[in-house]
């Protein structure tokens, strides 16, 4: 079996799904792309058992066939070829794969496609459609706050709640919480699922920023994303997401409004002098002034800066992790943000002042205990 395809076209498409391929797969066959050709369409599949991605590529082929191709060496070869039509010959008896370019021939050992895991079907699925730009924005505001702790699987993904009046995306790592809501995205049938971080990271990297429709189907065990020429199937996290609404403080009488970029840039400078274990910075706030300071007693390092702000409430001091605060500020596009607080030992809320129509963003961050000598 052989087919002809543009080197840049097949490289672009395979690169899009390569993030699914694991460097240390559970079974060796998962180091490969599954290549299926049917009626002039090449369907490439990558999987790590938990997440599977497929992409359709038009090719010139006289016959159908299938083989598993080593992902790493195949991609590296394509990356180093100039743009040109290439011929790929597959020996279905030995599973060898030969790439023929204008000036060279490159041969790799493939594998029997029968050994590649089958793509799970999403039967009896619940379905919802949303714009790619909307999903991209929702994931951009929530993925960063998911947990990397394998011992806390319930926090390792994004919680999606579909409701009659709105849709909620939520994530937490135990130190911070993000709730992203869209009133322009609703569902008559209320339901919720917990989507894994890796799959959503791949989806976000593939999404266009336009109004392309993303079709999401899901049942009790799997979710299926479809847009453009891409399909992605992932296993849902079978855990209960924390009761996050109970953690959001309601009576925050101290509210500071500040320029987001000024605060972010100040934190970047001040955090250099903070303790490397805690990343602690101190906010000293009064009517029109925010003083940010940090100290690393072990190395006698310290720094402080003053920023203009608009503060309503009693003068107060509160400590935060500069690392977590900077990540939150980096994922907000609004020029102004509100920091709502009740007390120095209670959770604070970071809320953008400017939002897109129909959206609401709330970011919660837990304070850190201030050092008495900081």
Q: Where in the chain is the domain with CATH 3.10.150.10?
A: 2-115, 126-242, 248-365
Q: What is the pLDDT of residues 157-213, one digit of tens each?
A: 999 999 999 999 999 999 999 999 999 999 888 999 999 999 999 999 999 878 899
Q: Tokens 């799904």 map to which residue? A: 17
Q: What is the pLDDT of residues 325-343, one digit of tens each?
A: 999 999 999 999 999 999 9
pLDDT of residue 372: 57
Yes or no: is domain 2-115 CATH 3.10.150.10? yes
- Show the tokens assigned to 249: 């403080």
Yes or no: is domain 248-365 CATH 3.10.150.10? yes
Give the residue with greater pLDDT, 342 vs 121: 342
Alpha carbon dihedral 308, 310, 315, 317, in 10-degree steps, equals -60
pLDDT of residue 374: 41
Taking phi first (over 0 means left), then psi (-120 to 50 degrees means alpha), and beta for anything else, what does residue 220 get? Answer: alpha
* CA 344 and chain centroid, separation: 31
Q: Are 340 and 355 within 8 A, CB to CB?
A: no
pLDDT of residue 211: 87
**pTM of whole model > 0.85?**
yes
- Show the tokens assigned to 272: 């250099």
Alpha carbon dihedral 22, 176, 214, 13, in 10-degree steps, equals -30
126-242, superfamily in CATH? DNA Polymerase III, subunit A, domain 2 (3.10.150.10)
Q: Are 69 and 35 within 8 A, CB to CB?
A: yes
In our burial notation (b when 16+ CB lie closer than 10 A, e otherwise), range 133-171 reads bbbbbbbebbbbbbbeeeeeeebbbbbbbbbeebbbbbb
């Amino acid at each position: 079996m052989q087919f002809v395809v543009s080197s840049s076209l097949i490289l672009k498409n395979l690169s899009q799904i390569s993030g699914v391929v694991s460097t240390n797969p559970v079974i060796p066959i998962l180091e490969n792309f599954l290549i299926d050709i049917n009626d002039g369409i090449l369907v490439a599949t990558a999987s790590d058992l938990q997440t599977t991605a497929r992409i359709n590529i038009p090719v010139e082929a006289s016959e159908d066939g299938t083989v598993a191709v080593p992902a790493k060496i195949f991609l590296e070869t394509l990356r180093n070829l100039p743009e040109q039509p290439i011929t790929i010959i597959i020996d279905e008896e030995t599973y060898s794969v030969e790439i023929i370019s204008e000036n060279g021939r490159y041969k790799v050992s493939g594998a029997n496609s029968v050994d590649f895991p089958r793509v799970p079907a999403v039967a009896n699925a619940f379905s919802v459609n949303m714009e790619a730009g909307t999903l991209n924005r929702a994931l951009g505001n929530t993925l960063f706050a998911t947990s990397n702790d394998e011992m806390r699987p319930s926090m390792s993904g994004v919680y999606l709640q579909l409701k009659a009046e709105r849709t909620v995306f939520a994530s937490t790592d135990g130190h911070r919480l993000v709730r992203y809501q869209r009133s322009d995205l609703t569902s008559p049938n209320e339901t919720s699922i917990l989507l894994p971080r890796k799959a959503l990271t791949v989806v976000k990297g593939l999404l266009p920023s336009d109004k392309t429709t993303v079709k999401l189907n899901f049942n009790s065990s799997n979710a299926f994303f479809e847009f453009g020429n891409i399909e992605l199937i992932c296993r849902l996290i079978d855990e209960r997401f924390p009761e996050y609404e109970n953690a959001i403080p309601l009576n925050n009488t101290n509210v500071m409004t500040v320029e987001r970029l000024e605060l972010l840039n100040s934190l970047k400078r001040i955090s250099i002098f903070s303790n490397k274990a805690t990343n602690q910075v101190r906010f000293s706030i009064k009517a029109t002034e925010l003083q940010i300071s940090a100290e690393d007693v072990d190395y006698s390092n310290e720094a402080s800066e003053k920023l203009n702000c608009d503060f309503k409430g009693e003068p107060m001091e509160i400590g935060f992790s500069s690392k977590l605060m900077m990540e939150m500020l980096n994922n907000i596009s609004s020029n102004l943000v509100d920091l709502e607080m009740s007390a120095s030992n209670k959770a604070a809320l970071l809320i953008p002042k400017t939002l897109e129509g129909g959206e609401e963003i709330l970011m919660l961050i837990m304070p850190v205990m201030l050092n008495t000598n900081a």
